[in-house]
Amino acid sequence: MFYSKHLNKALDNLKSNPQTSLISVSTFAAAFCILGLFMVLYVNLDSLLSTWSRQVQIIVYLKDDLKNPQRKTLEALFAKNPQISSVEYVSRQAAWENFKNTFSAETEFLQSLDFNPLPASYNLRFKPGPNRVENIRLFAETLGKKSEVESLEYGEKWISRFEKFMIFLRVFLLAVGGLLSLGLIFIISNTIKLSALARKNEIELMLMIGATHRYIKTPFLLEGALQGAAGAVLALLAAKGVHGYMSFQFSDSIAKIARDADFLFIGPSGILILFGVSVAVGWLGSYISINKVLNMENGS
């Protein structure tokens, strides 16, 4: 009841200066669309990262002519690590066959090689878990010191580089979001200030009659929040449109990069955050300006 009255007032305000309202809503929409697209990028890179890190394995290349007991000590070491989900032994022979199968086009060159240059190896896969990449790195370090091991190959380096990049991207997103929000707070506060100044007489009267500050402010706060909400809805629709267009136009290349993972849109929590932030920004912007206008009034 209390709020429906204020809501009507807020809608009246919006309607009574449509140009400024339209400008601030579309500025909101543009800014949050940009932010939304960054979030789409982030969401997809994040899902790529988790797909890839799920595939991280250690390949342990063995020294040539390793004897069975020496292999057993390594296998015992693997068995002791609870994080390892599977161990696959690839003999020199099997490796060579694999290699030849993969590069069958180059058979002429391969046939000219009359010895097997490939070492035997173990493929270690790890169980999923929060510290998977760190665990893999630690175990790889232990293995690297073993005399039986010729060399190791694992994705730790680029995975952790990728993870660092994701942290950077997150900070970047927050920074961009923060800057855009600041700009929007400024814009909204200007719009609401115009709206409040257009109703200066009314505000003055309300103060004289004995309206509470809360009563006077609420319609303007709602007006700002509504503008934020409208901007967010438009932004999400636009971002969804861009997302749809891109997944249609670039489906092939996306499939290649992402190895058949889907091109994701922002999830429900992301949408909620975007919406919440824009409503909060609209509210905050109008809060600042309506307080300023009220303080300008004498008698308030």
Partner 1 sequence: MIQLYNVFKTYDGNIPALVDISLLIKEQSFVFVTGASGAGKSTLLKLLFGWERFDSGQILVKGMNVGKIKKEKLYLLRRHIGVVFQDYKLLPNKTVFENVAFAMEAIGASSRSMRYKTSDALKSVGLFKKRDSNPMQLSGGEQQRVAIARALVNNPAILLADEPTGNLDPDISLEILKLFEMANQQGMTVVFATHNHELVRHANYPFIILDKGNVVRP
Residue ranges in contact with partner 1 by CB under 8 A: 2, 5, 201-202, 204-213, 215, 298-300
* Measured distance CA(172)–CA(34) in Å, rounded: 13
3-state class (DSSP) for residue 178: helix
* Closest approach of partner 1 to the CB of residue 1, in Å: 9
Closer to partner 1 at the Cβ: 59 or 198? 198
* Closest approach of partner 1 to the CB of residue 2, in Å: 8
DSSP labels, 110-165: HHH--S--PPPEEEEEE---TTHHHHHHHHHHHHHT-TTEEEEE-THHHHHHHHHH
* Closest approach of partner 1 to the CB of residue 280, in Å: 23
Closer to partner 1 at the Cβ: 113 or 208? 208
Closer to partner 1 at the Cβ: 207 or 254? 207
Name the nearest CA neighbour of 235 among 181, 199, 295.
181
**Can you tell me which residue has the tokens 């009574």?**
16
CB atoms near residue 203 (< 10 Å) = 22
Contacts for 251 with CB less than 8 Å, ≥ 6 apart: 263
Closer to partner 1 at the Cβ: 217 or 243? 217
* Closest approach of partner 1 to the CB of residue 215, in Å: 7
* Closest approach of partner 1 to the CB of residue 235, in Å: 33
* Measured distance CA(58)–CA(87) in Å, rounded: 10
Closer to partner 1 at the Cβ: 130 or 299? 299
Phi, psi of 147 (to 5 degrees): -70, -25
* Closest approach of partner 1 to the CB of residue 8, in Å: 11
CB atoms near residue 178 (< 10 Å) = 11
* Measured distance CA(80)–CA(68) in Å, rounded: 18
Closer to partner 1 at the Cβ: 156 or 223? 223
Closer to partner 1 at the Cβ: 247 or 300? 300
* Closest approach of partner 1 to the CB of residue 16, in Å: 9
**Strand residue runs (E) in the chain:** 57-62, 84-90, 121-126, 149-153
